[in-house]
Amino acid sequence: MELKIGDKAPDFEQKDQNGKLIKLSDYQGKKVILYFYPKDDTPGCTAQACNLNDNLSSINEAGYEVIGVSVDSEKAHQKFRTKYGLSFTLLSDEDHKVVDAYGVWVEKSMYGKTYMGTARTTFIIDENGIITDIIAKVDTKNHTDQILKQQ
């Protein structure tokens, strides 16, 4: 099932970088930027995370919480957050439940080889859990601008 603007965002329960269980429903009443990225500590994913982190005060002032999701382990997330001083939650989706629920675990190709991976996609979710925007063409270095100009 492909999610669309206006759909209810699928709830999930997954561990963050510290092993704490996080549910989307925990954020009821808050706006959420739920962003999916392929891998910790790679150039594009680092640029995206740092752009969001560098602009976190503007994002929070606009009323948003940021949650990053990848299929990396909790330990990889801890190292990534520490290395770049990231201040927002990163969820470990090693069992692919969240990437599957949001339809972002897709076939990709590089150098003529196909493989399964996470499509870099951001879902903007309102206070009632409704998807208000989906950003599929993410500009990793200017992602905050993409998000805030939509609002």
Q: How confident is the model over 68-91, as a mean pLDDT?
A: 97
Inter-residue contact 115 to 106 (CB < 8 Å): no
| Reported pTM | 0.95
Q: How confident is the model over 38-62, as a mean pLDDT?
A: 96
Instruction: Give the pLDDT of residue 149.
Output: 84
Catalytic residue set: 45
List, for residues 2-12, the tens digit of each pLDDT value.
899 999 999 99
Strand order across the beta sheet in which 13-16 lies = 21-23, 13-16, 89-92, 64-70, 31-36, 121-125, 131-135
Domains of the chain: 13-21+28-149 (3.40.30.10)
